[in-house]
Structure 1
Amino acid sequence: MLELIEANWIAFVIVLLLGVAVAWWVWGRRPAERVRAHTPDVLTPGAAPAQRNNELLEMPPASASPDTVLAPASAPAMAGIEQVIAAAAAQEVNDASAASAPAAADAPVPPANRPGIAPASGAPDDLTRIKGVGPKLNALLGELGVTRFDQIAGWKDADVAIVDPYLGAFKGRIVRDNWVDQCGYLARGDTAGFESKYGKL
């Protein structure tokens, strides 16, 4: 055996070095990889919490600084934008005012100024005696120039059609509560006839 080693010692040394290199590569590297693989990071259970980026946290928000100016867009992209915004705003104002107030041509003339509605003559009556008329409706009728029972008692269907749109939330009450008939009794002073038909005053 010794003679064999002496005759082939170069080959023996090469095989020995290759064996050591392979052994180091297989077993020597593994512990380092294991250490690297098991080094705890912020996601490993029990690891220390991640460090906060205090520089970002301490910076004031962009909206808090009045000096913050956005970079202007290119001139061609922004050309005429002020005119477009102004025109849209003007159109919105016009639409809102048109929706809130009827057009002058469509606006009915207040009933007190319309022919066919008898103007009040004499002291005003207590219109809250009409069943279905409370203080708010009484005030609204007063604004329209309707203050007496005899006015309402003389209304025809056309007169009711003139007054009714002005009653807003009370629209339709004239017919539903039969004001014309009630006011006929009240204008004549026929309390017994009124109470027999509409209940106690």
Structure 2
Amino acid sequence: MQEFFMDYGLWLLIGLLVVIALVFLLSGKRRDDAETQAPPATVVDAPEVEVAAIPPAAPQPASPPSVSPSAPPVEPDPAPLAAAPEPALQPVAAASDGQADDLLKLKGVGPKLHNLLIELGVTRFSQIADWSDADIAAIDARLGNFKGRPVRDQWVDQAKYLAAGDIAGFEAKYGKL
């Protein structure tokens, strides 16, 4: 028996692989046929909808109406009102003196959000650390697609660590800088 497997083992293995491949292909073909054959669509006759005819509009009078000359002409306002200019973005918190902090160190702040925060006047960790709930709501309303990030990413807590210079505490809670 052992000699049989030694002499014909490779052929038995090839035959077994061919049988497995055929079973796989044939079973897959039946499944594909069932998926591609959609049941015939049934056509339902919809009732016809009657459309009411719209009567033609009455013809306009040929002559324009006469204007009485007794009415005094209306003078335009001396200073026409200009469209109210949109208020520019006011910084929520005044920027403090000194060099701006690298806000990219905050987890959840990328380059786009960094630029947006600078436009809003936020440049220091101490500013973010001092935010109240009202300040967070005011900033959050101006963040557009980044709405909800200050609370979700815990910027105030992160900024407290970074403003105090507690890098070890920051890394213990939020991971490596």
TM-score of the superposition, structure 1-length normalised? 0.44
Higher normalized helix content (fraction of residues): 1
Structure-2-length-normalised TM-score: 0.50
Q: With a CA cutoff of 8 Å and minimum separation of 6, indicate the structure with the bigger relative contact order.
A: 2
